[in-house]
Structure 1
Amino acid sequence: MGVDLNSSPAPLRILETVLYAPDLTRIEDFYRRALGLEPFAAEPGRHIFYRCGDQMLLIFNPDVTQFPTAGASLPVPPHGAEGEGHVCFGASGGDIEQWLTKLESLGVPIEADFEWPRGGRSIYFRDPAGNCLEIAEPRIWGIA
């Protein structure tokens, strides 16, 4: 008897988001100062993991993770990406103004700050690896 592919469950949510950055020391400093995130787990030169609400932000050094890890205790396959990635952090409309002030006080250039046509504000900036970061109201996607 075959598997009914039409009755497969849908994912509940996104559990992890991944960005890549070769200089994890600069990344750790930036994410601590600019976003107030503290590492949940780290392996120097390989990865830094952050808990963000009920989700995880994983930042890997692609120069290392694109190759299999010799003697690894877990069979995680190699992976990596080239070029800048993107992640959007959710915030209330009132908090976005505070984020804007904080980022500007740290000298982080804001690339865009606007209201979406259906409602909701977004601000965009970059981390030291060039990844495009956004802080936005969840209502830009119709999420409360």
Structure 2
Amino acid sequence: MSRPTIGGVLETAVYVDDMEKAHAFYSEILGLKRMVEGDRLYAYDCGPAQTLLVFHRGYCGEDVVTSGGNVPGHDTSGHGHFAFRISRDQLQPWRDFLAERGIAIISEVRWSAGGTSLYFNDPDGNVLELAAAPLWPNFLS
């Protein structure tokens, strides 16, 4: 039997302590549209067929039984990380926008492949990255 294919990453998740503070950040600062709002999670549209799940830390460790089946519990401690893809011409506008909003860029990395990443924190200390290609062999533009 041959290996089935993977179509990409559908969701990525981050865990936060204050859901409303997180919503203000992800909607007002990053401009993401919230698609789902609940006690345990918010789901945001962050590109075609891509979803950012913002989970309320400590509220997701137990399994959740739904009419469609059992969703296994999950949780994390510490700071998470994920990256958003941006085009090279958006690096300076993002630098300026984050500075205008009082959000410090904690690191800027120029990768040997030629890409650039801007790192900053969300209100819960999660490390977010805005990445302009090329970084990885599969992320050239």
TM-score by structure 2 length? 0.90
1:35 maps to 30
CA distance in 1: counterparts of 2:133 and 2:71, whole angstroms: 32
1:49 maps to 43
Alpha-carbon distance, 1:136 to partner:
0.6
CA distance in 2: counterparts of 1:57 and 1:32, whole angstroms: 12
CA distance in 1: counterparts of 2:116 and 2:78, whole angstroms: 26
Identify unmatched segments of 5+ residues in structure 1.
none
Higher helix share: 1
Alignment identity in percent?
Answer: 34
Select the structure of larger CA radius of gyration: 1
Alpha-carbon distance, 1:92 to partner:
0.7
Alpha-carbon distance, 1:12 to partner:
1.7
The number of equivalent residue pairs is 137
Within a 5 Å distance, the mapping from 1:51-66 to structure 2 comes to 51-54=45-48, 55-66=50-61
Answer whether contact 1:86 1:132 (CA < 8 A) is retained.
Answer: yes
Answer whether contact 1:62 1:79 (CA < 8 A) is retained.
Answer: no
CA distance in 2: counterparts of 1:52 and 1:115, whole angstroms: 24
- Code of the residue aligned with 2:123 in structure 1: it is P
Q: List, as ranges, runs of 4+ consecutive aligned residues in structure 1 with deviation greater than 6 Å.
A: none
RMSD value over aligned CA atoms?
1.3
CA distance in 2: counterparts of 1:138 and 1:36, whole angstroms: 21
CA distance in 2: counterparts of 1:33 and 1:141, whole angstroms: 29
Within a 5 Å distance, the mapping from 1:1-144 to structure 2 comes to 4=1, 7-43=2-38, 45-54=39-48, 55-69=50-64, 72-74=66-68, 75-142=70-137, 143=139, 144=141
Answer whether contact 2:12 2:51 (CA < 8 A) is retained.
Answer: yes
